[in-house]
Amino acid sequence: MSLYEIVSERREPTYAVRSPADAFKALERYKNKRNEHFFVLTLNGAHEVIAVRIVSIGLLNRTVVHPREVYYQAIKDNAAAIIVAHNHPSGSLSASPEDIEISRRLREAGQLLGISLLDHVIFSKRGHCSMVEQGLMSPPSSD
């Protein structure tokens, strides 16, 4: 498997992400993975999925993520926005301090690039949670 494995790619976007549940549907098959996987969903201006990619595969309870790898794919896809997500093999849906920090860094990088980070979704075999809905990230500004 190569870095930036394409999980799904749509030539003509037809699947719009309107909620964290929609993002989870695109990633649900990874909910039972034994290692953390970090994903980026690239979206067009109508929030239709361009592609879903694995950015990083880590250990049991962590993965290394850098804004460069996340936004590299978004720039290539000419994305207007992204949603990032990762699984928690433990089943926990709670965000760690590291999850909150990487979300902050990704939001700042996206603001510089003009690509909105809409949400960070954490998922597991128990379901999913949205960091925006949990109040751990502010909703994206509508500039």
pLDDT in tens, 13-54: 468 899 999 999 989 899 899 899 999 999 999 999 999 999
Q: How confident is the model at residue 64 (pLDDT cuts 50, 70, 90)?
A: confident
Please give the share of the chain, as a percent, with pLDDT higher than 90: 69
Instruction: Rounding to the nearest 10 degrees, give the CA dihedral for residues 115, 86, 17, 11.
Output: 80
Residue 63's pLDDT band (cuts 50, 70, 90): confident
In a domain, 65, yes or no: yes
- Please check whether residue 137 lies inside any domain of the structure: no
Q: Which of 140, 135, 124 is nearest to 100 (CA)?
A: 135
**pLDDT class for 143, splitting at 50, 70, 90?**
very low
What confidence category does residue 1 fall into, taking pLDDT thresholds of 50, 70 and 90? very low
What 8-state DSSP symbol labels residue 12? S
Say if 39 falls within a structural domain: yes
Write the pLDDT tens digit of every residue in 85-95. Answer: 999 999 999 99
According to the model, what pLDDT value does residue 74 have? 95
Asked whether the predicted pLDDT for residue 72 surpasses 50, the reply is yes
111: domain CATH number is 3.40.140.10
How many domains does the chain divide into? 1
Residue 107 token pair? 């939001």
Return the DSSP state at 38: E
Please indicate, yes or no, if residue 143 is contained in any of the structural domains: no
- Residue 29 belongs to domain spanning: 6-15+23-130
Domain assignment present for 28: yes
Asked if residue 103 is part of any domain, the answer here is yes
Residue with tokens 């590299």: 72
The dihedrals phi and psi of 99, each to the nearest 5 degrees, come to -60, -45
Exposed/middle/buried for residue 11 (C-beta within 10 Å: 0-12, 13-18, 19+): exposed
